[in-house]
Amino acid sequence: MTELSVVGKPTPKKDGAEKVTGRTRYLHDLVLPRLAHGKILRARHPHARLVRIDTRRAAALPGVLAVLTAADVEQEPFGFARDQTALKAGKVRCVRDEVAAVAAETAAIAEEAVALIDVDYDELPAVFAPQAAVRPDAPRVHDERPDNLTDLRYQFSHGDVDRAFAEAAAVVEGVYRLHFVTTCCLETMVAVAEWDAQGGLTMWSTTQVPFLYQRELARALGISGDRVRVIQPPVGGNFGRGLDLYPIDVIAALLARRVGRPVKVEFERLEEFVASPTREPCEIRLRTAADVSGRLLAREAHVTVDNGAYVSWGSTTPYVMLATVAGLYRVPNVRFDTTIAYTNNPYSGSMRGYGNLESTFAVESQMDELADRLGLDRLEIRRRNTTKSGDVNPQGFVVTSCAMRECLEAVADAVDRPAPPPEAGWRRGVGYAGMFHVAGGARIYRSDGCGAIVKMDDFGKVALITGATEIGQGSETVLAMIVAETLGVPLERVEVVNSDTAVKPWDVGAHASRTTFIAGNAARMAAEKLRGDLLAMAAEQLEEPAERLAMNDGAIFVAAEPQRRLPYERVARAGHYAPGGRTLVAEAFYDPPTTMLDKDLRGNVSATYGFAAQAVVLDVEEATGAIRVRRVVSAHDVGRALNPLAAEGQIHGGIHMGLGYALAERLVVENGQVLTASFMDYAILRAEDMPELVVRLIESHEAEGPFGAKGLGESGVIPVSAAVANAVHDAVGVRFTELPITPARVRAALEAARR
């Protein structure tokens, strides 16, 4: 199949028109008869004993259906480390902590009732930095954890690192400090829970891991997983936010169980800033060694993560940071270690890029420093260290297809094109960064698979029932394209069904840029089976062996006599109506040939890996420190661009998020309190802030991928901050090791440099 009809064509998202015309029904829009509304009372202090909670005034308010505290419900610990309950008992450990919850006839009544709950706190000394938390005299966040350390530690060693550093021609080192940011999903967090008369729970959720969510929610409620059904309406952004179970989900279920009605809990925007998961703050100490030709000899990193009050996925990001340290460019000797400590700050979840922004910022900053130290061109040092197809890296990651070199050349080429020169008082800089990320799944769970069911009806309508989850990334569209291409039917006749755990087969969830690759393979396999069944039907009807038939453009025909053809839906119908007839349903499950990391953090976790290179062209105003990004060039090894429009869109969105991380966004958390709790305070970039974007999609034709594709969802965001920092250095000679690089910081640094 060399000539493709659907795959490879720029294709608008199937759900795009509905979204831009305001017709999409998000979970916030869900209305049910007898729907009650829940609100949550959170901790006033980041660390305090709960002395007394008086809910009487709240409960007496007309329209209030229930007021719950931890004393009123049975709940099991949940979360990555099972270190929290949804409603807190005994003490609160961060300002996000849920002290009580109300269900009422309306959201307004519930909010009024929340304000009527009287809580007496006994304030405790608190700790807000992991470095302080591990000191012997630090306040204990969890009483049973005297050292405030979580159980998470990522230790890795490969080769002779000390010797490599001792023998290096150049060693650079630095401490890189990364900050809290938040996903800024336009749809705030929301959960709707309803129990049926048999004790089954239906959850409408914005989760992006419905089957893990099903399991975790059941555990938190002390019921078996088969009693939970998860329904996922379209979501207005997720970016990793939906990777964990949160108190909002459990509380919605607890309230619904108590009041015997469906209950919706939805966050106000302020609550979203305070209580939705963040990207984790961390400090990366990194040393890199190179020989005189610029070839990397070793890297050594120690990452300290502010875990916050409870463990969620944010604290597992060193797993990915290690992959960058050991895998972004060839590096023969690697040492890596972590300190992940509880504090009284909010806790972090998964967020697009998942540690890789942070580590790439450190690693790529040092690539430039090494180039400078050794007098090498900054692109040349990267070329000399480029990963190649066939490499096996220190962790045992097996590189199959790899177009990193081509990405670097594409960036170099695109960045050389003329741009308007900087204005007077502005200095121009160009910065580069590469990127290495999983792109063929990531086996972080025993199964990294996805199931697919393809059904064709009498009208030629094809339904793909996929385990995969659409979180705005365009997976519905690309999966429909894969099915349409495999079957040879028009794209508009393929419908994707993906929103109900009772209906869809298993999938581990939308994360690690895996959906196109994993769910795409499953969809392709199921469609191929269906195609086989359909061709067998056609073989009877056309009285030709199936091997002589072809299918394309909605018709099945004798390959050698294309005029002998039948519309495919007629074949399906005739096959259905024939004696002993059947309808067309096929299923498949794809789990990539990968392994989980072993205890030494070795193993080939992904069936293939993605590579990219970016260049940022920006101008810095010397007087004010203002930065104006002029152009971002982003070249990506995508294996094959199944939907170039969506691929570019993913990269555009990633660059937007990356520039915000690099230059503007910061969730200011001081003494455990979130100070930037509105879009007036929290600075995401606006459309007018965006530079010219140049995207280059490099096709390396990954053999294991569907039609040669690799994952792409995160790679746009990952290198941006490193490229920005390198460009700022190129412009004004100042190296920033802390983000965001705001005008105030630039001005202060320039002033310091002048002194």
Residue 315 makes contact with its own copies by CB under 8 A: no
What are 83's two structure tokens?
């270190």
**What's at 213, amino acid-wise?**
Y
Residue 9 makes contact with its own copies by CB under 8 A: no
Residue 492 makes contact with its own copies by CB under 8 A: yes
CB 309 within 8 A of CB 95: no
Question: 665 to each of 267, 271, 279, 425, 721, how far by Cα in Å?
Answer: 21, 18, 11, 25, 12
Residue 391 makes contact with its own copies by CB under 8 A: no
Q: How many residues bind its own copies (CB under 8 A)?
A: 58
**What is the phi/psi pair of residue 514, to 5°?**
-95, -15
Residue 503 makes contact with its own copies by CB under 8 A: yes
Cα–Cα distance measured from residue 113 to residue 121, given in angstroms and rounded to the nearest whole number: 19
Residue 169 makes contact with its own copies by CB under 8 A: no
| Residues 535-574 close enough to bind its own copies by CB under 8 A | 569
Residue 427 makes contact with its own copies by CB under 8 A: no
Question: 441 to each of 511, 579, 710, how far by Cα in Å?
Answer: 8, 44, 9
Pick the binder of its own copies from 144, 420, 502, 755 (CB under 8 A): 502
561-567/555-558 β-pairing: antiparallel
**Closest approach of Cβ 755 to its own copies, in Å?**
60
Residue 198 makes contact with its own copies by CB under 8 A: yes
Binding track over 31-60 against its own copies, x by CB under 8 A:
xxxx--------------------------
Pick the binder of its own copies from 224, 389, 671, 678 (CB under 8 A): 224
CA 366, 367, 371, 377: dihedral to nearest 10 degrees? -150
Peptide bond preceding 740 in cis form (omega within 30 of 0): yes
Cα–Cα distance measured from residue 378 to residue 371, given in angstroms and rounded to the nearest whole number: 6
**Closest approach of Cβ 68 to its own copies, in Å?**
21
- Looking at the Cβ atoms of 56 and 582, the one nearer to its own copies is 582
Residue 429 makes contact with its own copies by CB under 8 A: no
What are 696's two structure tokens?
């280059």
**Closest approach of Cβ 274 to its own copies, in Å?**
27
Cα–Cα distance measured from residue 632 to residue 718, given in angstroms and rounded to the nearest whole number: 13
Pick the binder of its own copies from 1, 4, 10, 18 (CB under 8 A): 18
**Closest approach of Cβ 30 to its own copies, in Å?**
9
Residue 405 makes contact with its own copies by CB under 8 A: no
- Looking at the Cβ atoms of 220 and 659, the one nearer to its own copies is 220
Residue 451 makes contact with its own copies by CB under 8 A: yes
**Closest approach of Cβ 580 to its own copies, in Å?**
7
CB 246 within 8 A of CB 207: no
Cα–Cα distance measured from residue 230 to residue 222, given in angstroms and rounded to the nearest whole number: 17
DSSP secondary structure letter of residue 517: I
Residue 222 makes contact with its own copies by CB under 8 A: no
Residue 214 makes contact with its own copies by CB under 8 A: yes
Residue 474 makes contact with its own copies by CB under 8 A: no
Q: How many CB atoms lie within 10 A of CB 514?
A: 29
- Looking at the Cβ atoms of 197 and 752, the one nearer to its own copies is 197
CB 522 within 8 A of CB 708: no
No. of helices (H) and no. of strands (E), the chain:
18, 30
- Looking at the Cβ atoms of 69 and 232, the one nearer to its own copies is 232
| Residues 508-537 close enough to bind its own copies by CB under 8 A | none
* Angle at the Cα of 217 from the Cα atoms of 212 and 219, rounded to 5 degrees: 100
Among the residue ranges 42-50, 209-217, 476-484, 535-543, the one whose residues contact its own copies (CB under 8 A): 209-217
CB 276 within 8 A of CB 188: yes
- Looking at the Cβ atoms of 160 and 500, the one nearer to its own copies is 500
**Closest approach of Cβ 380 to its own copies, in Å?**
43
- Looking at the Cβ atoms of 112 and 457, the one nearer to its own copies is 457
- Looking at the Cβ atoms of 2 and 21, the one nearer to its own copies is 21
263-266/36-42 β-pairing: parallel
Cα–Cα distance measured from residue 97 to residue 45, given in angstroms and rounded to the nearest whole number: 9
Residue 105 makes contact with its own copies by CB under 8 A: no
- Looking at the Cβ atoms of 446 and 754, the one nearer to its own copies is 446
- Looking at the Cβ atoms of 129 and 463, the one nearer to its own copies is 463
- Looking at the Cβ atoms of 312 and 477, the one nearer to its own copies is 477
Residue 436 makes contact with its own copies by CB under 8 A: no
Cα–Cα distance measured from residue 416 to residue 246, given in angstroms and rounded to the nearest whole number: 47
- Looking at the Cβ atoms of 233 and 625, the one nearer to its own copies is 233
**Closest approach of Cβ 102 to its own copies, in Å?**
22
CB 102 within 8 A of CB 116: no
Helix, strand, or coil (residue 2): coil
What are 494's two structure tokens?
């393929």
Radius of gyration of the chain (CA): 27
Name residue, tokens 């982003």: 634
Question: Which H or E run contains 356?
Answer: helix 356-374
Name residue, tokens 């961390």: 282
Pick the binder of its own copies from 377, 416, 458, 561 (CB under 8 A): 458
Name the β-bridge partners of 556: 551, 566
Residue 441 makes contact with its own copies by CB under 8 A: no
Alpha-helical (H) ranges within 65-200 are: 107-115, 130-133, 161-167
Pick the binder of its own copies from 120, 196, 681, 751 (CB under 8 A): 196
- Looking at the Cβ atoms of 57 and 227, the one nearer to its own copies is 227
Cα–Cα distance measured from residue 653 to residue 638, given in angstroms and rounded to the nearest whole number: 16
**Closest approach of Cβ 535 to its own copies, in Å?**
18
What are 551's two structure tokens?
């299918």
- Looking at the Cβ atoms of 458 and 600, the one nearer to its own copies is 458
- Looking at the Cβ atoms of 33 and 375, the one nearer to its own copies is 33
Pick the binder of its own copies from 56, 417, 582, 701 (CB under 8 A): 582
What are 497's two structure tokens?
């069904």
| Residues 641-700 close enough to bind its own copies by CB under 8 A | none
Pick the binder of its own copies from 446, 599, 754, 755 (CB under 8 A): 446
Residue 13 makes contact with its own copies by CB under 8 A: no
Residue 505 makes contact with its own copies by CB under 8 A: yes
Residue 215 makes contact with its own copies by CB under 8 A: yes
**Closest approach of Cβ 599 to its own copies, in Å?**
18
CB 389 within 8 A of CB 399: yes
What are 17's two structure tokens?
């028109």
E-assigned strand segments in 439-545? 450-456, 462-466, 494-497
- Looking at the Cβ atoms of 297 and 483, the one nearer to its own copies is 483
**Closest approach of Cβ 261 to its own copies, in Å?**
9
Residue 78 makes contact with its own copies by CB under 8 A: no
Residue 457 makes contact with its own copies by CB under 8 A: yes
Pick the binder of its own copies from 413, 589, 626, 644 (CB under 8 A): 589
Sequence-ordered list of residues with C-beta below 8 angstroms from that of 580, at least 6 positions apart, any chain: none
User: b vs e for 635-644, b when ≥16 Cβ sit within 10 Å of the residue's Cβ?
Assistant: bbbbbbbbbb
Name residue, tokens 């004798």: 558
**Closest approach of Cβ 296 to its own copies, in Å?**
34
**Closest approach of Cβ 401 to its own copies, in Å?**
23
Q: Which residues bind its own copies (CB under 8 A)?
A: 14, 17-18, 21, 23, 25, 29, 31-34, 196-198, 211, 214-215, 218, 224-226, 228-229, 446-447, 449, 451, 453, 455, 457-461, 463, 465, 492-493, 495, 497, 500-503, 505-506, 569, 576-577, 580-583, 585-587, 589, 591
